[in-house]
Amino acid sequence: MAERLTFTKGHGTENDFVLVPDLDGALDLTAPLAAAIADRRAGVGGDGVIRVVPTEAASDQAVRDQAPHARWFMDYRNADGSLSEMCGNGTRVFAAFLRREGLESADEFAIATRAGVKHVRVDGDGFAVGLGPWRLGDPATAQRDGFDALVHLDDLEPFSALTVDVGNPHTVVALPEAVALDAVDLTTAPAVRPEPVHGTNVEIVRPLGPGHVSMRVFERGVGETRSCGTGACAAAIATSFWAGSLDTGSTWLVDVPGGRLTVRLLPDHGVELAGPAALVADGVIDIAQLTRRAQP
């Protein structure tokens, strides 16, 4: 493996990522290496690590099959090194990197992900990305009860929640009026029942008005983050579902600690996420130093 890796640090509404270009597909971005890069004290630091690699060089056949539609694969890992199928904020930062580097020059293009091909377009200063199709985790239970899961927060009675898949798994909590959003303790992972087999991201949502919610998120493989793009989509979908108005072409503003995202609900379970993307630093990682463990 190369001893030095170039990287770019970026963020979308303060959900931050380390992008590692691997233009010839030679880098073995293992879970321990990704976790070391994402480490905020001994590494570069980020909520996730994104390898930028030609789609045809991906190890997964299902990803390589996307090569006729998308030249570049967003190989996403969480800060703990685990793989994720999708990252909404990451898609915009990935798109900004591809354009800055001249790897894509059009205003609209597609990117390959573990959740399939996603279409990106320039949208003002930022990007809009189609993240659909979404689906409810347990549609029959959700249609009958309005909820299909319970989430335990703090020492309070469990809260009703809805499971939404946006390529990756989400559980959205409808926080009752009596509980302040800022007061919820997200220093540890909320317990979700039934326990999701592959884990879940948990969004806690407070409606602010028509088409407008405030949200905090505990991300699978990370902890509390300042934003989550797929989580914002899940929050808008769940809130619309509870209001009985899905698939209406509505636009939602989702306020997160790191800023504001816009979510458009489209027909046929489509959903589009729009927001900023910033590339803030470039550098070089010394792999030997990064992986050297301090002696006690």
Ligand X SMILES: N[C@@H](CCC[C@H](N)C(=O)O)C(=O)O
Q: Enumerate binding residues for ligand X (CB under 6 A).
A: 15, 48, 78, 84, 87-90, 168, 201, 219-222, 228-231
Active site residue 228: yes
Burial of 249 (0-12, 13-18, 19+ CB in 10 A): exposed
Burial of 251 (0-12, 13-18, 19+ CB in 10 A): middle
Q: Which is nearer to ligand X, 258 or 284 (CB)?
A: 258
Answer for the pair 131, 230: CB distance below 8 angstroms, yes or no. Answer: yes
Q: Which is nearer to ligand X, 146 or 196 (CB)?
A: 196
Q: Which is nearer to ligand X, 260 or 291 (CB)?
A: 260
Question: β-pairing, 212-219 with 135-136?
Answer: unpaired
Burial of 188 (0-12, 13-18, 19+ CB in 10 A): exposed
Question: In the complex, what is the shortest distance from the CB of residue 47 to ligand X, in angstroms, rounded to a whole number?
Answer: 6
Cα–Cα distance measured from residue 190 to residue 256, given in angstroms and rounded to the nearest whole number? 18
In this structure, how many other beta carbons lie within 10 angstroms of the beta carbon of residue 203?
Answer: 30
37, 63, 86, 87: which one is catalytic?
87
Matching residue, tokens 């926080």: 175
Answer for the pair 190, 202: CB distance below 8 angstroms, yes or no. Answer: yes
Question: In the complex, what is the shortest distance from the CB of residue 207 to ligand X, in angstroms, rounded to a whole number?
Answer: 21
Contacts of 61 (CB under 8 A, 6+ apart): none
Task: Please give the helix or strand (H or E) that residue 122 lies within, else none.
Answer: strand 118-123
Q: Which is nearer to ligand X, 21 or 81 (CB)?
A: 81
Q: Which is nearer to ligand X, 55 or 89 (CB)?
A: 89
Tokens of residue 287, six digits: 């792999």
Active site residue 87: yes
Angle at 57 (CA atoms; ends 55, 61), nearest 5 degrees: 75
Q: Which is nearer to ligand X, 11 or 206 (CB)?
A: 11
DSSP states of 187-217: SSPPEEESPPTT--EEEEEEEEETTEEEEEE
Cα–Cα distance measured from residue 177 to residue 187, given in angstroms and rounded to the nearest whole number? 22
Question: In the complex, what is the shortest distance from the CB of residue 293 to ligand X, in angstroms, rounded to a whole number?
Answer: 26
What is the identity of the amino acid at 252?
W
> Residues with catalytic annotation?
87, 228
